[in-house]
Amino acid sequence: MTKKFATYRQRVDQLNSLSDSKISDGKFYDANSYRRMALKFESEWRQNHPSVCTSSEVEDTFLRIISERKPQLVVEYGANLSPKDVGSGFSMEQDKADPSLGRFSKWNLNTIGYKPEESLLGLECDGNISGITMPWIYFGMMFANFSTHVEDNHLFSINYMHQGSPKTWYGVRSVLKILKIISYTFMFQLHVRRTDISLTRKNQRSNTGTTRCG
């Protein structure tokens, strides 16, 4: 049994809002108890929504809930977890291929960052850098969401789905353009609340640089 980990509680209907309640501390689970919780949630949700069957229909429902901000929907998500704590489907032995992967034996995500001449990352470093040379583990469930972020564009990024239902990835061609839109929307909402903020291009640029996605 793996070590227990903390989750984030997500209000899916509030993900596109400025609400402080959209992300909060969730419960503690180990891998098995999280899986049971996630499967129970999905089973009950599908029983209550029999017309939503395919992955595309589930995705449409997810996007509609975010856009319309209703109905209230709460899920939990485990993020940025160390394989040393929660386990891994790959060997933890450094500088060794994983024979269980067959012809992909060198694609051990726990060691792929340590051999510049053989790895896609091409990094040389001492020790572990979480999320770069040592991967992070994520636990997701139906409707769980990991926010838009740009870090995967800074280095080569590799992801492996250990088990579970299909995961949907969204790629944004022009992140800076999206950030400008988000920044301006944020400034507009602040302007509505406060009369001492001017919506000048100067303010727009300064806030674009500090907008955090992820």
Model confidence pLDDT, tens digit, residues 149-200: 777 777 777 888 888 888 888 776 665 666 665 655 555 554 444 444 433 3
Q: Are 66 and 15 in contact, with CB atoms under 8 Å apart? A: yes
Which residue range forms the structural domain that includes residue 112? 91-134
B/e letters for 119-143, b = 16+ CB within 10 Å, e = fewer, are bebebeeeebeeebbbbebbbbbbb
Query: Do residues 117 and 190 share a domain?
Result: no
Residue 81 in this model has a pLDDT that exceeds 60: yes
In angstroms, the CA 117 to CA 135 distance is 19
Query: Do residues 95 and 183 share a domain?
Result: no
Per-residue confidence (pLDDT) for residue 214, from 0 to 100: 34
Strands of the 23-29 sheet, one edge to the other = 23-29, 5-11, 74-81, 137-139
Confidence (pTM): 0.73
**Higher per-residue confidence, 177 vs 100:** 100
Per-residue confidence (pLDDT) for residue 10, from 0 to 100: 94
| Count of helix runs (H) and strand runs (E) in the chain | 5, 4
Q: Are 130 and 82 in contact, with CB atoms under 8 Å apart? A: yes
pLDDT in tens, 182-191: 655 555 554 4
Query: Do residues 149 and 103 share a domain?
Result: no
Examine residue 214 and state whether it is found in any structural domain, yes or no. no
Query: Do residues 11 and 48 share a domain?
Result: yes
Per-residue confidence (pLDDT) for residue 1, from 0 to 100: 47
In angstroms, the CA 152 to CA 168 distance is 15
